[in-house]
Structure 1
């Protein structure tokens, strides 16, 4: 009964003839099927990446505070992100530097605040040998400078960070420049004391500036290992404006999912003469503003289900033999037809 349902025609083994053409077809089809099988296995193991855009959702936060530490911590996680700064000013002293977060200056007592693990969340210290070497200076010869390190929690809204010369140091520098201008030192080539001019040189080296968690697949970071050298007749006095656009990126990997931020950076330098004419309120140094885009990116890595995977494997193995057989048969029949016409 079951034999009657067998529709597959199987010729006798002794009637089948083996040829070199058939062996070549089998070899080519087997090789192609094997390569496609390995490629399909690699794709299944590594997974496929899907990208999508969506509007970022705002997180409602109550205006009135709460006394529950757990709820306060939860609101802090939802409404704030971590900002890490590591910047070195090779020519400036730390007592002449001022840091402002959204217009509010940080006091010296803020730099003594430590986290629960005993590490300083903010530090304004003399650069160590590693920082100077990374910035391109010889640690044995260069003995000045100021390195700012900070780990802050800032709201996930537009903000502004500035690391500039203090108002007192800026006033002294302006008086010094006015005296040098009256004596004609600034206009003369090579004039002025190099050590005096370097005392207000705002050239800086950005080791890293990070907002939130770093995107794992980012190839380069525009706010990492960034040197900004200022050379002008004022001895390196200028203000670098950096505008950062943060793109929220939801990254979903194999083991975890997290919210990261990709960065788009543009910058320009305001020279001292333009600072006076344009009425810039900030002192020379570094000013960085950041904002979040309303569009967010979803980056997900996943595998196909097992049924789709098995269907692909069967299609690859069977399709390779059928395709190679059809192509070879077409060539053989075409050659036979041409030979018949010639005869």
Structure 2
């Protein structure tokens, strides 16, 4: 039985006395061994890394909200000037967003001002007012309108709202309520400063836009309007987008606008127009994405591409030919991408290693046999004196 078992040996051995070792064979063996080791190490590197597969299909997710993460630094625009507004095609408007949005004052050199509140919006902070100093029914500065329910204005915000309903421009510097609450003082104190705006927005999962612009915003005759009368001079919209993403981050995600920095053009005179402030526009195309990691966990998020446009505005007299600001117009793709991360199996790694060792060994053997037979034939001819 054991004798018959030997007949299945696929690797018959030869006697050492019949083996011929040559210098060429040694060189081929060393080179092939080095080649095998190099390929083996490369296979280990491939085995340790993960592979990413992409799939595309129609987005059937019916989520109603889209999370927008923002972190933008305005180098020459104070926090007291800035407001953040969001609107979409469904008709929803968010004016002067302060919930989950925070502002930090920056010095002209870009350093944080430690005395400034870090987790609140300086514009929306209302100082404590002694109730004894507040009149029972303050004047609305001529904007009283009983038919619209406007009779008394005891705060700066109430006067501003009353002026908006009348369609008038509002100047807080001439309003006693605003002077008492320190609005003008904040604007003067922050002149020349910068501002960091960070946090997140929750918007409907439909096309829309959000923008940073100076002045208080309101809606008048179905139009989105910013009241810039409270602030004098030009607005420098130079900015750095530290972060702009939609949804949660996942390993390997690349946000095209992260780290983008833009500098506002200098103000100059052109005929009877003063040119300087501009409108930065970013058109964002959002691609819904599902990321599946090695552990099988799913992350619902978004990727995006972007194009940008800059429009230089002019100021004629006291009126601006457009609204200076930083605008982000976004739209969603109906196609969803699924990113699946997979690691290489150990069986495939072993298969690759065996293929490398066997393949290199076989090719090296053929090459060594060719060299040996060639040199042997050449030597025989030399011995017979037939070599020329």
TM-score, length-normalised on structure 1?
0.69
Q: 1:163 aligns with which of 212, 218, 240?
A: 212
> 1:1-42: CA deviations, max 9, x gaps?
212333543211232232222222222222222221221122
Q: Distance in 1 between matches of 2:18 and 2:375?
A: 25
User: Given the superposition, is the C-alpha separation of residues 261 and 332 from structure 1 closer, same or farther in structure 2, using an over 3 Å criterion?
Assistant: farther
Which residue does 2:170 correspond to in 1? none
SS of the counterpart of 1:288? strand
Contact 1:202–1:236 (8 Å) recurs in 2: no
Q: Give 1:108-147 correspondences, 5 Å limit.
A: 111=98, 113=99, 121-127=100-106, 132-133=110-111, 143-147=192-196
User: Given the superposition, is the C-alpha separation of residues 336 and 11 from structure 1 closer, same or farther in structure 2, using an over 3 Å criterion?
Assistant: closer
Q: Distance in 1 between matches of 2:191 and 2:368?
A: 75
Q: Does 1:239 find its partner at 2:279?
A: yes
Report how far residue 161 of structure 1 moved: 0.2
Q: Does 1:259 find its partner at 2:259?
A: no
Q: Distance in 2 between matches of 1:18 and 1:86?
A: 71
Runs of 4+ in 1 over 6 A off after TM superposition: none
Report how far residue 209 of structure 1 moved: 1.8
Contact 1:56–1:248 (8 Å) recurs in 2: no
CA RMSD of aligned residues (A): 3.4
Which residue does 1:27 correspond to in 2? 30
Structure exhibiting the larger radius of gyration computed from Cα positions: 2
> 1:300-325: CA deviations, max 9, x gaps?
33233333332222111111111112
User: Given the superposition, is the C-alpha separation of residues 39 and 212 from structure 1 closer, same or farther in structure 2, using an over 3 Å criterion?
Assistant: same
User: Given the superposition, is the C-alpha separation of residues 154 and 43 from structure 1 closer, same or farther in structure 2, using an over 3 Å criterion?
Assistant: same
Contact 2:68–2:244 (8 Å) recurs in 1: yes
Q: Distance in 2 between matches of 1:37 and 1:82?
A: 46
User: Given the superposition, is the C-alpha separation of residues 323 and 301 from structure 1 closer, same or farther in structure 2, using an over 3 Å criterion?
Assistant: farther
Which residue does 2:366 correspond to in 1? 326
Q: Distance in 1 between matches of 2:327 and 2:73?
A: 14
Which residue does 2:173 correspond to in 1? none
User: Given the superposition, is the C-alpha separation of residues 337 and 102 from structure 1 closer, same or farther in structure 2, using an over 3 Å criterion?
Assistant: farther
Q: Give 1:37-76 correspondences, 5 Å limit.
A: 37-50=40-53, 52-60=54-62
User: Given the superposition, is the C-alpha separation of residues 207 and 142 from structure 1 closer, same or farther in structure 2, using an over 3 Å criterion?
Assistant: farther
Contact 2:265–2:277 (8 Å) recurs in 1: yes
- Structure 2 segments unaligned to the other structure (5+ residues): 113-189, 216-224, 269-273
